[in-house]
Amino acid sequence: MKVVINVHYRGDGDSARRFVEDMVSEGVLERVRAEGGCLGYEYFASMEDPGHVLLVEHWEDESALDAHSRSDNMAAISSLKNRYALSAEVERFLV
């Protein structure tokens, strides 16, 4: 089964948007999209709440997501998340 993950990142001011900008400028976003089994990895900024960004991930299967979770890219994401003191609410769906 395919896996869809929604991650709601929230922070003060525009910190969530700056997090995404760093994901792009530091090459993390491009590297994640190149991982085996990654079918989609997109960020969406809220028009109403500048402190909220939604990440929608699509993975081929559980093993691809597990490999991503153990990757150096995930460590880089965690570091960036901590840099901006973001909270993250995760929703997981099997489709």
Domain that holds residue 51: 3-94
Rounded to an integer, what distance in angstroms lies between the CA atom of residue 65 and that of residue 40? 12
DSSP assignments along 43-59, one per residue? EEE-SS-TTEEEEEEEE
Q: pLDDT value at position 61?
A: 98
- Where residue 73 sits, what CATH number does that domain have? 3.30.70.100
Q: How far is CA 92 from the centre of its chain?
A: 13
Q: pLDDT value at position 95?
A: 95
Q: pLDDT value at position 58?
A: 99
Q: Is 4 helix (H, G, I), strand (E, B) or coil?
A: strand
Q: Do 17 and 9 meet the contact criterion of CB atoms below 8 Å apart?
A: no
31-82 confidence digits (pLDDT tens) = 999 999 999 999 999 999 989 999 999 999 999 999 999 999 999 999 999 9
Tally of domains within the chain: 1
Q: pLDDT value at position 82?
A: 97
